Amino acid sequence: MGRNSRKVDILHAASKIVSERGIFNLTLEATAEEAGISKGGLLYHYPSKEALVKGMVDHLASNYREKIENNAKADPKDVGKWTRAYVDVTFKNTYENKDMNSGLLAAKAVNADLLNPIRDLYTEWQRDIENDGIDPVKATIIRLATDGIWLAELFDIYHIGEEKKEIIYARLKEWIDEQKPE
Amino acid sequence: MGRNSRKVDILHAASKIVSERGIFNLTLEATAEEAGISKGGLLYHYPSKEALVKGMVDHLASNYREKIENNAKADPKDVGKWTRAYVDVTFKNTYENKDMNSGLLAAKAVNADLLNPIRDLYTEWQRDIENDGIDPVKATIIRLATDGIWLAELFDIYHIGEEKKEIIYARLKEWIDEQKPE
DNA sequence: GAAAGAGTACCGTCTGGATGGTATAGTAAT
DNA sequence: ATTACTATACCATCCAGACGGTACTCTTTC
């Protein structure tokens, strides 16, 4: 299994189509063209549209999980490390990781069950954040506010400005750090 | 224009299809059947699929705006009234108003420009919340946390439990009320 | 060491079914 | 006469997935 870059290329192509042209334009042909391969070649790697979308979700889920885990484990301070990791990774990713957006949008449209890996992720994170050595209610609110920003952007409903975003980010980080371990 | 209930019925039918069967099953025929009318009759009221989805978004946008406005205006306390209205209406609506969900999902899929009325709404609310007589950063975080809950539910990514939701709600309301006017 | 086979990674075409939208003729109520 | 439909037929387009190839690289067998 030397090369898997082709599979990832296809995933990126699909994401690009969804974010630029919308879910209804995510066809196998368009994806193949965007990825620079033939339809037959695409079907070789992902034997159905659903498999393609599943590939998108699984890919982003494992990436996201890994990032948060690494962040939390590298944190020198134990108290609040999961909450901090969630806030940091999500704030930094919102722009870079457009794949996230598109994969979720596509999965929600094609087959909601494909979102299961994401649901598992959130269940885990919520558990970790509630046992982070700080007030669990405040920690949850911090997580929710972070979600509020990226979900509104994903949905293209409201984009908070860069400056405001920084101020919110700073305040949330303050809140995490000012919490006393019990 | 005595009767417009038929138009609203159609909107409800469309919403139901989107939330139960997904966007790809929102076809004109399915909508007509769900609404109990013929395809011709549906096309009479909404001459295209895009018009139908636009109808969904416009309907929910005006409903939502009205609710928040009424809430804020009926609030006996001036300080924090917009933030309170946003939190109250959104928390109460999350379950009842599934139309919201479906209309947004459909619009995002069909034509993102149809979301403009929603964007305008958020721009207004953000302005009101920032000038609500309380710390604008905290007010914004409260709004974002509220968004975090309903957007995650809309997206079916994470459903916070009823008890936790009540606790979050209470805490957010506390935060609004403990703010001193400047 | 040459032929045969197996596996991988594709390419390009075809078809059946679904769907958006049009059209038309007719009905019932106001 | 106009509004608000019903009912049915129809068309053009799109697309998922099937299918039959091709090309290349290993590995096995004789």
pLDDT digits (tens, 9 = 90+) for A129-180: 999 999 999 999 999 999 999 999 999 999 999 999 999 999 999 999 987 6
What is the mean predicted confidence (pLDDT) over B167-179? 94
What residues contact residue A60 under an 8 Å CB cut-off, 6+ apart? A97, A99, A100, A103, A104
Model pLDDT, residue B137:
97
Residue A108 lies in a domain: yes
- Using CA atoms, how far residue B132 sits from A34, A142, B72, B135, B137, in Å, is 48, 21, 11, 8, 11
* Tokens linked to A113: 């069950």
Give the N- to C-terminal CA distance of chain A in Å, as an integer: 49
pLDDT at A65 over 70: yes
- Using CA atoms, how far residue A112 sits from A25, A65, A109, B49, in Å, is 18, 20, 7, 23
Domain at B76, CATH number: 1.10.357.10
Distance from CA(A25) to C1'(D22), angstroms, rounded: 30
pLDDT in tens, A96-125: 566 668 899 999 999 999 999 999 999 999
Residues of chain B with pLDDT > 70, as a percent, come to 92
Residue B170 lies in a domain: yes
Residue A140 lies in a domain: yes
Residue B118 lies in a domain: yes
pLDDT in tens, B97-152: 666 689 999 999 999 999 999 999 999 999 999 999 999 999 999 999 999 999 99
Give the residue numbers spanning the domain of A141: 55-178
Residue B157 lies in a domain: yes
Model pLDDT, residue A5:
80
Which of B147, B149, B165 should we substitute to test contact with A (largest number of A Cβ atoms within 10 Å)?
B147
Residue B99 lies in a domain: yes
pLDDT in tens, B40-69: 999 999 999 999 999 999 999 999 999 999
Model pLDDT, residue A6:
87
What is the number of structural domains in chain B? 1
Closest nucleotide to the alpha carbon of A41, via C1':
C10
User: Shortest CB distance from B168 goes to which of A22, A137, A152?
Assistant: A137
Across chain A, mean pLDDT equals 91
Residue B103 lies in a domain: yes
